[in-house]
Amino acid sequence: MTSSTSLLATLPGQYYTDPAIFALEQSRIFGSRWLAVARASDVDRPGRYRTIEVGGESVLLVRGRDGGLRAFFNVCRHRGARLCTEADGEARRSLQCPYHAWTYGFDGKLVAAPNLTNMPDVDRSAYGLVPVHLREWLGYAWICLADEPPSFEETVRDAVTGRLGDPAAIGSWQLDELRVGRRISYDVKANWKLIVENFMECYHCATIHPELTEVLPEFAQGYAAQYYVGHGAEFGPEIEGFTVDGAAGFDRLGGVDPGRDRRYYAITINPQVFLNLVPDHVIFHRMLPISAERTLVECDWLYSKEVVASGKDVSRSVELFHRVNQQDFDACERCQPAMSSRIYAHGGVLVPSEHHLGAFHSWVLDALA
Ligand code: FES
Ligand code: FE
């Protein structure tokens, strides 16, 4: 008699293609969870704003006169016009609706509306912009579209501190002090879950990431750093820095423990953030799904103030993970068309070194249930 072990299944193909499932994810996941939507410094002075399309809504992130950051639904309270239509911009004195010129302060208050002065009994404070829950952490603006958001600490902070094994560890990278040295946006023709799954496993590393496995030789064995190498993946003996050719990078960031000096840490924060920590920089990815088959990924390379201010050349470290991103997103795009094949109707399989993806699938199914 022979015994055989069967492999765990992935989600069925329709989870990656079906607009009805995507709509449910938009409301139950992206419309309900904490999401990192922008670097707080993207809106660095009063009146600067960004608009973000997420969870089926347009969100307006704006810096107030008091220096505070605020988020609102980007919907005029009069007859619903989009207040700001650009992805980013700067308003001079106030936010004025381009339709009938209702005018809002950067704090969301309705400050003027043509003809409404004839009706002094109308309570203007009732017609301000509707706020969106907002937190600032790691230098990013995190929003939640739910009326009652889940605990930020449990759903976001703990995902990070749990992976580093020490609640204080993330603080040593001082992410809120870092500056954006480079930002690259990727328009990926693949379902967002293919991108998460890909990021969570390293079974593909030996096949598609020659530069990365050169720097992190243990990745060639196929075990994902964040799940199997909880201590962080170690740089190869000849490697001096996390750069495309292994050449030295920059000085270790001030607070980073010397014990983490030659290591790489990767963290996924469900549903849309991937964080990579190396001694001299941080790579922060945030995903925004556009449709069942298309996802925008904005990736920031963060360095110390000194490195960015001095204009030092960051291209060798940017090039390493930019290549990794392209290799990963190409792989996701290669899978996407097959998600609607009848061969994938019941999904594919996970090898043992990918079994932790099952936990992500359960997380998605629970959220949609
Ligand atoms: Fe904005 Fe009328 S819709 S002022
Ligand atoms: Fe990869």
Contact 281, 317 (CB under 8 A): yes
Pairing of strands 179-188, 294-303: antiparallel
Q: How far is the CA of 110 from the centre of ligand 1 (A)?
A: 12
Residue from 100, 110, 116 to probe ligand 1 pocket by mutation (most atoms less than 8 Å from CB): 100
Residue 76, ligand 1, Cβ within 6 A? yes
Contact 233, 239 (CB under 8 A): no
Give the mean pLDDT of the chain: 94
Q: Which helix (H) or strand (E) holds 218?
A: none
Query: What gap in Å lies between CA 86 and CA 43, rounded to an integer?
Result: 14
For 134, the 3-state DSSP assignment is: strand
Residue 104, ligand 1, Cβ within 6 A? no
Q: Report, as an integer, the average pLDDT of 246-274.
A: 93
Query: What gap in Å lies between CA 176 and CA 238, rounded to an integer?
Result: 32
Q: How far is the CA of 366 from the centre of ligand 2 (A)?
A: 26
For 336, other C-beta atoms within 10 Å of its C-beta total: 20
Q: How far is the CA of 219 from the centre of ligand 1 (A)?
A: 55
Note every long-range contact of 255-262, with CB atoms under 8 Å and residues 24 or more positions apart, other chains counting: 255/171, 255/172, 255/173, 255/174, 256/172, 256/173, 257/169, 257/172, 260/169, 260/172, 260/232, 262/234, 262/235
Q: How far is the CA of 122 from the centre of ligand 1 (A)?
A: 16
CATH 2.30.110.10 fits 34-149, yes or no: no
| Ligand 1 atom closest to 77 (CA) | 1
Structure tokens at 271: 């549903």
Q: Report, as an integer, the average pLDDT of 277-289.
A: 97
For 206, other C-beta atoms within 10 Å of its C-beta total: 14
Maximal CA-CA distance, the chain: 90
Residue found under tokens 């009146």: 47
Q: Report, as an integer, the average pLDDT of 330-344.
A: 98
pLDDT at 1 over 60: no
Q: Report, as an integer, the average pLDDT of 229-242.
A: 89
Residue from 73, 74, 78 to probe ligand 1 pocket by mutation (most atoms less than 8 Å from CB): 78
Residue from 58, 76, 95, 111 to probe ligand 1 pocket by mutation (most atoms less than 8 Å from CB): 76
Q: Report, as an integer, the average pLDDT of 5-25.
A: 94
Q: How far is the CA of 102 from the centre of ligand 1 (A)?
A: 6
* Ligand 1 atom 2 nearest Cα: 100
The per-residue pLDDT for range 164-198, each reduced to its tens digit, is 777 778 899 999 999 999 999 999 999 999 999 99
Instruction: Report residue 121's pLDDT band, with 50, 70 and 90 as the boundaries.
Output: confident
For 156, the 3-state DSSP assignment is: helix
Contacts of 107 (CB under 8 A, 6+ apart): 64, 65, 66, 70
* Ligand 1 atom 3 nearest Cα: 79
Q: 75 or 122: whose pLDDT is higher? A: 75
HSE-CB for 301 with a 13 A CA cutoff = 22
CA 231 to chain centre: 23
Q: How far is the CA of 224 from the centre of ligand 2 (A)?
A: 9
Residue 97, ligand 1, Cβ within 6 A? yes
Residue 102, ligand 1, Cβ within 6 A? yes
Residue 220, ligand 1, Cβ within 6 A? no
pLDDT at 252 over 90: yes
- Residue 283 Cα distances to 80, 135, 138, 218, angstroms: 37, 20, 12, 20
Contact 97, 122 (CB under 8 A): no
Threshold 0.90, pTM exceeds: yes
Instruction: Report residue 241's pLDDT band, with 50, 70 and 90 as the boundaries.
Output: very high
Query: What gap in Å lies between CA 60 and CA 289, rounded to an integer?
Result: 17
Q: Which CATH superfamily is domain 1-30+165-369 in?
A: Naphthalene 1,2-dioxygenase Alpha Subunit; Chain A, domain 1 (3.90.380.10)
Q: Report, as an integer, the average pLDDT of 139-146.
A: 98
pLDDT at 161: 81
What are the residue boundaries of the structural domains of the chain, listed by start?
Answer: 1-30+165-369, 34-149
Residue found under tokens 């994938």: 344
pLDDT at 2 over 70: no
pLDDT at 70 over 60: yes
HSE-CB for 52 with a 13 A CA cutoff = 32
* Ligand 1 atom 4 nearest Cα: 100
